[in-house]
Structures are given as C-alpha cells and as structure tokens.
C-alpha cells in the first residue's frame, strides 16, 4: 500500500497475482510477418480466467505472467472464439525448447508482478 501525502487517502497497488493456473494445450504457429506462436487454452480454463480477470481486462485482453519450461515472461491473453489464446514469442519458444505443433504445459498468473527494486 502506498500512502498519499494528502490526508488519509490510500492508494492500493497490485503486488500479487490475482490467481495462478496451470495449463496444457497445443502450440500453433501464426503465419505473419514475424514468427509468433499461440497456445489455445481450454474452454474450462478460459472461463475460470475470465472470472479471475474481472475488472482487469483491457479491450478483452488479460495481462498475465507465464512460466513454460523454466522460462518466465509477461504477455496478454487474447480472446478468440470464446477462449483465450496465450501468445508465445519465438525467442521464448526456442529458450523453452518448444516445437511447433506440439503440446506445451506451464503456469500463468493473472495480472503483473510488481517491478523488482
């Protein structure tokens, strides 16, 4: 909590993730100008994430922290056809040893971790 110099006004700052979830799904390649990959999250997990992200969504996207294969990164989930897609940059995919077309498992948390001081 950060206290304002103006009276008793207090400002809450998010210092933890709202919820942490495990996921597993196929990784698919997006054929655009740069190699990008997505993990399609399950219907059930997407429904749980929507509840956890209530009030944190921005244009339908949800900020998350992710760990796959020992590689941690931040990104935003994209809503698509009633589920969320988890973007995985090519650099992350390579570092985690993920092959296109395979299945990937990991953990994600809704929100952002605070910057390290």
What pLDDT, on the 0 to 100 scale, is given for residue 113? 61
Comparing CA positions, the residue from 13, 83, 91, 90 lying closest to residue 49 is 83
Q: Check residue 58 and report its DSSP letter.
A: B
Mean predicted confidence (pLDDT) in 64-83:
92
Positive or negative, the CA dihedral 92, 98, 99, 102 is negative
- Give the span between the Cα atoms of 90 and 35, in whole angstroms: 6
- Residue, of 35 and 49, whose pLDDT is higher: 49
* CATH code assigned to 16-110: 2.40.30.100
- Give the span between the Cα atoms of 85 and 69, in whole angstroms: 18
What pLDDT, on the 0 to 100 scale, is given for residue 53? 81
* The two structure tokens encoding residue 10: 């207090």
What pLDDT, on the 0 to 100 scale, is given for residue 2? 37
What residues does each domain of the chain span?
16-110
Tracing tokens 């900020």 back to the chain, one arrives at 63
């Amino acid at each position: 909590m950060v206290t304002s110099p103006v009276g008793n006004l207090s400002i809450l700052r998010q210092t933890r993730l709202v919820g942490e979830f495990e996921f597993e799904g196929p990784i698919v390649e997006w054929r655009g100008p740069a190699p990008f990959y997505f993990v399609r999250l399950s219907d059930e997990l997407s429904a749980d994430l929507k509840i956890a992200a209530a009030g944190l969504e921005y244009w339908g996207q949800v900020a998350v922290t992710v760990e796959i294969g020992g590689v941690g990164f931040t990104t935003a989930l994209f809503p698509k056809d009633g589920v969320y897609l988890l973007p995985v940059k090519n650099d992350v995919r390579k570092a985690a040893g993920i092959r296109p077309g395979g299945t990937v498992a990991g953990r994600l948390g809704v929100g952002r971790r605070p910057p390290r001081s």
